[in-house]
Amino acid sequence: MSLNLTIDLFNNVLRFTHCMLHPPGALTANAFTGTYGVNYGRIADNLPPPESVVTLLKAAKIKNTRIYDADHSVLTAFANSGIEIIVGLGNEFLKDIAANGERAVDWIKENIEPFVPKTRIVGIAVGNEILGSTGGQDLWEALVPAVKNMYLALERLQLANSIQLSSPHSEAVFATSFPPSSGAFREEIMPYMRPLLQFFSQVGSPFYINAYPFLAYISDPTHIDVNYALFKKNPGIFDTKTRLHYDNMFMAQIDAAYAALEKVGYTKMEVIVSETGWASKGDPNEVGATLKNARTYNYNLKKLLYKKKGTPYKPHTPIKAYIFALFNENLKPGPTSERNFGLFKPD
């Protein structure tokens, strides 16, 4: 069963405008100047064709999206739509591109150049959750060289001023995240995280985090108030170090990322949520994976993002997030929840 939100829910979605990358050391404009995006995952055999998805996104006034590859049928369908898109460089390409800069040039020539500017490709996500639970040591070592080679390739092809690089992380990169002020990266990933942050700081890229109160809640439903996870009325938590109060877990997760960044010297790097959402169906042990909770989470999150509100720790920096996901994906492996994060039904 999928989350059947109406198009009216999205009528006030803010525009995600073009980003501008500058040479290392220079200041850069924000990559995501709206506040609301949607992930367009496609691990399914019952989804509408990309042309129909463009029609849906335009009708719903959703003007920014992410995909997890560089599928040519999708990029062709998005041409002249005005929808801005971040494409993904799959984890399987990282080692090859890290070892050979020409491979990065070839990948961009094949997957980016033929489609711009008609298709508004504004970013490339280099890998997904590499330094968390997804990547092993070989991918950890490949990430930074791959990112640098991709950037050099964009510069060589004169695309670095319009396409920004990123690399989304899972919550598994943190050793601690509660209370928010205790946020800190795991020591074993720091030899790889530190140079990645240094490079992204130089070229003006933000820190992308996949933040899921849903996953935190189902891991410990006894001790976590579901209302705290769903943006509903609750006592909240108090961070004694910062003396800040949190009435929802989503903001606490973002501020934990800011705390971790500050501890390693990146006080000005913006945190953007690359994925967040709530499953509408799950296995018996996935407490809280219901249609009602999914509707509540996504609706309340959308309202929050529309207000352009900051977190308790960063009140003047509007929260920006991509919702996961546009559709249920019936071929995804794993627990039932993995296949039931969709905002819309396939029809």
Strands 174-176 and 164-166: unpaired
In a domain, 80, yes or no: yes
Residues 165, 126: contact at Cβ < 8 Å? yes
In a domain, 131, yes or no: yes
pLDDT of residue 33: 54
- pTM value is 0.90
In a domain, 308, yes or no: yes
In a domain, 14, yes or no: no
Q: Which residues are catalytic?
A: 129, 275
Mean pLDDT in consecutive groups of 10 residues from the start of the chain, 347 residues: 41 32 38 81 97 94 93 98 95 97 98 96 96 83 98 97 95 96 97 98 96 97 97 98 98 98 97 97 96 98 94 96 96 97 89
In a domain, 1, yes or no: no
In a domain, 23, yes or no: no
Number of domains in the chain: 1
Cα Dmax for the chain: 55
Reference 51, options 70, 74, 82, 67; nearest CA is 74
Domain that holds residue 303: 36-344
Residues ≥6 apart with Cβ < 8 Å to 239: 179, 180, 181, 245, 246
CATH of the domain at 127: 3.20.20.80
Q: How deeply is 82 buried, as exposed, middle or buried, from its count of CB atoms within 10 A (0-12, 13-18, 19+)?
A: exposed
| DSSP letters for 6-27 | -GGGGTTPPP-PPP---STTS-
In a domain, 301, yes or no: yes
How far is it, in rounded angstroms, from Cα 173 to Cα 211?
12
User: Which sign, positive or negative, has the C-alpha torsion 167, 168, 172, 173?
Assistant: positive
In a domain, 314, yes or no: yes
